[in-house]
Every structure is written in structure tokens, then in C-alpha cells.
Amino acid sequence: DAKTTQPPSMDCAEGRAANLPCNHSTISGNEYVYWYRQIHSQGPQYIIHGLKNNETNEMASLIITEDRKSSTLILPHATLRDTAVYYCIVRVAYNNNDMRFGAGTRLTVKP
Amino acid sequence: EPEVTQTPSHQVTQMGQEVILRCVPISNHLYFYWYRQILGQKVEFLVSFYNNEISEKSEIFDDQFSVERPDGSNFTLKIRSTKLEDSAMYFCASSNRGPYEQYFGPGTRLTVT
């Protein structure tokens, strides 16, 4: 599986967009990019996933570069409740069922 | 909104005892998972379960661990002889689309003394 690199921590002002980067330069053509988050000690929460096209849902947008070597998760209007650890995971979808979590990015949204 | 539930929320047990952690996945989901998170460390995959059998397991999931779906609604993780290093938060997850969106429960904190 492709390895991902994320900054260990980031801050964001409440109401502003939070842009969380992820590098996955060794990604292969059949690997998806998944984003999860974990608020304090709660169970991880699925946010979004994509293969090569940009994706948007009610929580966030996922921008994947054309060469697929990096991606950005965008929380358009961050709130205090978005303070969490955000995980970028790259996995092949069809022959692996688990999510392998790394250290992630600790996002702190400040008032 | 349907959610994954887990019981108990906190389990304290003595070393060498057997524990069973219980999970009720979302009702129409077909894929089930257990993960664990030792305090301050990353979330680690233990096992995935589909069609009444284990589909994948990690190196952590050794012979002291077992999973079962006894009645079509519950999904359990049994640890036969607990060790101090089994102390962790255990998360159950389920999915109806395989490895895509997995929905996690709130976790069971296991403390082995």
C-alpha cells in the first residue's frame, strides 16, 4: 500500500476553511484515497473518499492532484467541533477490507 | 440515523481472564471489523468478517482472539486469556460497501489489571 505523509498538526480559525494536505507519491492506479477523523477518544468517522476525481459531500471536499500524488481535504467552514485528528489513508478497494490508520493530522479549530 | 453500538463502554478484568466485547452493527451492513487503539497510539486493524467468516486479520489477531456473529445482529470479539498489553480501546465497525465507508462504534475501553 502507498504510504501517506501528513503534517502532525495544524490550526485553523473558526469559520475559515481548513485545508489538510496529504502526500501519497507512491500511490498506484487502483488505490483510493480515504479520509477519516477521530474526535478525542471517539470511534473514527468516515469523511470522504475518491479515486481520481474531486469529490464533495455534506462534510467536506476532496481535491486530488492530476498525478494523484497528493490530495487536500477541505472543510469549508470549520467549527470548534471539527477539532480532531484527521487521517488520510490510501488503500486498494477490492482486495483489502481494513483501514490502516497512521498518525494523522491533529487539527485544532480556534475561536 | 443508524449507528453502531458497543457494550460495555468500559470493562475491567484481571490478567488471564476471558472477556467478550459486544457490538451491534448497523442492521443492513454485511462487513464487520474490529480495531483497537492503545492509549496515545494509532488505531490498529484487528480483523474483518464477511459472510460468516474472517476475511482478513492482522498480525495482532493471534490465537487468543476470536470473533463470532452468534445471532445475526451481534458481532463479538473474545479475548481468551487477557494480558496487560491488551488494555486498549476496542472499536467495532461495519460497512455495507466493503472497504469504503466504515461506520465505527463508540468503543469499549478494556482495562486489564
| Number of Cβ within a 10 Å radius of residue A81 | 9
- 3-state SS class at B107: coil
If interface means Cβ-Cβ distance under 8 Å, which residues of chain A face chain B?
A: 34, 38, 41-46, 49, 87, 91, 93-94, 96-104
pLDDT digits (tens, 9 = 90+) for A89-102: 998 766 556 788 99
Rg of the Cα atoms in chain A: 13
* Nearest alpha carbon to residue A78 among A20, A11, A18: A18
Checking if the pLDDT of B12 tops 60, the result is yes
Query: Which one, of A47, A53, A20, lies nearest residue A34 by Cα?
Result: A47
Per-residue pLDDT of chain A (111 residues; tens, 9 = 90+): 668 999 999 999 999 999 999 999 999 888 899 999 999 889 999 999 999 989 999 999 999 999 999 999 999 999 999 999 999 999 876 655 678 899 999 999 999
Give percent of chain B above pLDDT 70. 98
| Most B-contacting residue of A98, A99, A105, A106 (CB-CB within 10 A), to test interface | A98
Report the pLDDT value the prediction gives residue A2, as an integer from 0 to 100: 64
Q: How many CB atoms lie within 10 A of CB A100?
A: 17
Question: How much is the pLDDT for B1?
Answer: 80
* Chain B residues closer than 8 Å to A55 by CB: none
DSSP H helices in chain B: none
d(CA A89, CA A103): 10
The SS3 of residue B100 is coil
pLDDT band at B44 (very low <50, low <70, confident <90, very high): very high
- Residue A34 carries which side chain, given as an amino acid letter? Y
Say if residue B34 is exposed, middle or buried (CB neighbours under 10 Å; 0-12, 13-18, 19+): buried
Closest CA to B83 of B39, B8, B23, B18: B18
- Torsion angles phi and psi, residue A81, rounded to 5: -75, -10
Residues of A in contact with B100 (CB under 8 A): 34, 49, 93
At B71-105, the pLDDT tens digits run 878 999 999 999 999 999 999 999 987 667 899 99
Cβ pair A84, A107 in contact under 8 A:
yes
